[in-house]
Amino acid sequence: GAVVSQHPSRVICKSGTSVKIECRSLDFQATTMFWYRQFPKQSLMLMATSNEGSKATYEQGVEKDKFLINHASLTLSTLTVTSAHPEDSSFYICSARKLASGEGTQYFGPGTRLLVL
Amino acid sequence: QKEVEQNSGPLSVPEGAIASLNCTYSDRGSQSFFWYRQYSGKSPELIMFIYSNGDKEDGRFTAQLNKASQYVSLLIRDSQPSDSATYLCAVLQGGKLIFGQGTELSVKP
């Protein structure tokens, strides 16, 4: 199988607080995990690529100091939205790529819906 | 020009018909191509991938790839109302998946 979990599934927070989202590959090892954001009626936008044991690579326009990514093991990556504001409200989805996946298949977590009041 | 383009739809087909979803991409160096299905409020789930020219069949789904034309499609045979969702085409470029904007499919009973 290829199961990816995310926690929490939904979070509501006040403006200015920080929120941590966990992404776990449950039945496989993932050297690379990806974090996406999806606004309503739009496609997935890649935020950053997370490699185990190294710094994340952020896409253009994504603030690395605001979206902190840690990939501490082959099965866990975390995204922390620091000092969240209402415009950060979105659907955050992680994906994981299997070790030695030649074709590059990514398996997605169920997503985390963030609402910042 | 967007890197991966899809018709946003909605595409409406009657139950039992064939649904045809199309996708074009701009980077000729792209190696692998993926189709994901996303139900409203849910995350994408992989339907299938293809990396060689031609057709690849999996159950009711057939992916078609034409690298010369930079075109990939997904056919859904015997469409069911449960197939109603947004279908995302994704292209692997430089180790990253680049997504199209998705095509909304509606299968009418």
User: Which of B6, B43, B49, B86 would you mutate first to test chain A, the one with the most A CBs within 10 A?
Assistant: B43
User: What is the pLDDT at residue B90?
Assistant: 94
- Chain A residue with minimal CA distance to B102? A43
What pLDDT is stored for residue A99 in this prediction?
Answer: 67
Most confident of A54-63, B25-34, B77-86: B77-86
Cβ within 8 Å, pair A44-B95: no
Cβ of A61: how many Cβ atoms within 10 Å? 7
Residue whose structure tokens are 């009973």: B109
Give the number of A-B residue pairs with CB atoms closer than 8 Å.
Answer: 49
Amino acid A101: pLDDT: 58
Average pLDDT over residues A32-55: 90
How close, in Å, is residue A33 to chain B by CA atoms? 10
Q: Give the residue-averaged pLDDT of B23-27.
A: 94
The pair of structure tokens assigned to A91 is: 């659907």
Count how many Cα atoms sit within 13 Å of the Cα of residue B46 in the half-sphere of its side chain: 20
Q: For chain B, what percent of residues have pLDDT higher than 70?
A: 99
Q: Closest approach of chain B CAs to the CA of A95, in angstroms? A: 10
End-to-end CA distance of chain A: 37
Our CA angle for A5, A10, A12, nearest 5°, is 145
How far does A15 lie from chain B, in Å, by closest CA? 23
Say what the pLDDT of residue A61 is. 93
Please give the pLDDT value at position A100: 62
Say how many C-beta atoms besides its own lie within 10 A of residue B30's C-beta: 19
The better pLDDT of the pair B95, B72 is held by B72
Quick one: pLDDT band at residue B1, thresholds 50, 70, 90?
low
User: DSSP labels for A53-79?
Assistant: TS--EEPTT--TTTEEEEEEETTEEEE
pLDDT on residue A102: 62
Contact in structure between B101 and B38 (CB atoms under 8 Å): no
Q: How many CB atoms lie within 10 A of CB B105?
A: 22
For B96, the closest of A46, A103, A110 (CB atoms) is A46
Reading the block at residue A77, the tokens are 């990556």
Is A34 in CB contact (< 8 Å) with chain B? Answer: yes
Q: Is A42 on the interface with B (CB under 8 A)?
A: yes
Are residues A49 and B96, on separate chains, in Cβ contact within 8 Å?
yes
A43: chain B residues, CB-CB within 8 Å: 88, 99-102
- Asked if B95 and A42 come within 8 Å (Cβ–Cβ), the reply is no
pLDDT digits (tens, 9 = 90+) for B58-72: 999 999 999 999 999
